[in-house]
Every structure is written in C-alpha cells, then in structure tokens.
Amino acid sequence: MITLRNRDDIVSLLGDRRALHSWSPVELQLDFLSDDIVQSKMEAQINAWKSECGCSLGAMTLWGGIALLIAWSIYAGFPIPGGLLAKLAGTMVWLLAFAVAGKLAGIAIARRKMRNRLRQLLIQKY
C-alpha cells in the first residue's frame, strides 16, 4: 500500500515510475484535504485508474476493427490474395492489432488521468 500524507509524498510518487505503475493501491491521508468523502472519492478514482487493464477500450477498438474490415471487404471485394485460410489469417492479424492497440491506449489514458489527478492535488487548495 502506498500512503500519501502530504504534498511531498505526492511529488515523490510522481517521480517514482515503478511505484506509480505498481499494483499497490494508493491510500490518501492528506492533511490538507479535510473532507473525508472527497478524499475517499479521489482515492477510489486514483486506484481505479492505477489498476486499469485497458480491456474495455481494447474491446471497443476490436469491434471498430471488425466494422472497418467488413466495410473494406464489401467495398474492395475482399482483395486479400490467396485462399480462404490466408484471408482468415490476415483478418485475425488485423483484428489482434486493433485489440492490442486499444488495450495499450486504454492503459496509457488511465495512467495519464491518474498522474493528472495527483498533480491537481498538488496545486489545489482545499
């Protein structure tokens, strides 16, 4: 568990990439955050972004990739050379690429949101 008690702890966490991206949850015990409800909501938000795996965005990009491949196949007459097996293999590679790209983007977006929330804690006065 990573416990943040003051602004120095937040700065330290932001500077330590290994701790920032570890699986350890963050606990907020900030002396400048007087409202326990706000503190618990921020803690839940930070921990949700910290543990994001990117699966939901990966699934959405996979469905987007399926839609693009269907549209492209209808428009171009499925121009992948070779037999049916080659066409299926090519399609699977493209769909896997869409899913992996979405998953990586989901993780990157969540990490950026988490860092931005921690930076907001540094500059805001409560």
Token digits for 54? 């990117």
For 46-97, the pLDDT digits (tens) are 888 888 888 999 999 999 988 988 888 777 776 666 677 777 787 889 899 9
- Is 0.85 surpassed by the pTM of this model? no
Q: From CA 83, how far away is CA 28, in angstroms rounded?
A: 58
So where are the chain's domains? 2-123
For 7-46, the pLDDT digits (tens) are 888 888 888 888 878 888 888 888 777 777 878 888 888 8
99 has pLDDT over 90: yes
**DSSP codes of every residue in 8-26:** HHHHHHHH-HHHHTSSPPE
Per-residue confidence (pLDDT) for residue 63, from 0 to 100: 92
Q: How many CB atoms lie within 10 A of CB 112?
A: 11
The amino acid occupying position 50 is K
| Average pLDDT for 104-110 | 93
Per-residue confidence (pLDDT) for residue 25, from 0 to 100: 84
| DSSP state letter for 2 | E
Question: Is 5 within 8 Å of 32 (Cβ atoms)?
Answer: no
Place of tokens 């930076």: 119
Alpha helices in 1-126 (DSSP H): 7-15, 17-20, 36-50, 55-76, 84-123
pLDDT band, residue 109 (cuts 50/70/90): very high
Per-residue confidence (pLDDT) for residue 46, from 0 to 100: 86
The amino acid occupying position 112 is R
Per-residue confidence (pLDDT) for residue 60, from 0 to 100: 93
Per-residue confidence (pLDDT) for residue 80, from 0 to 100: 61
Per-residue confidence (pLDDT) for residue 104, from 0 to 100: 95
| DSSP state letter for 3 | E
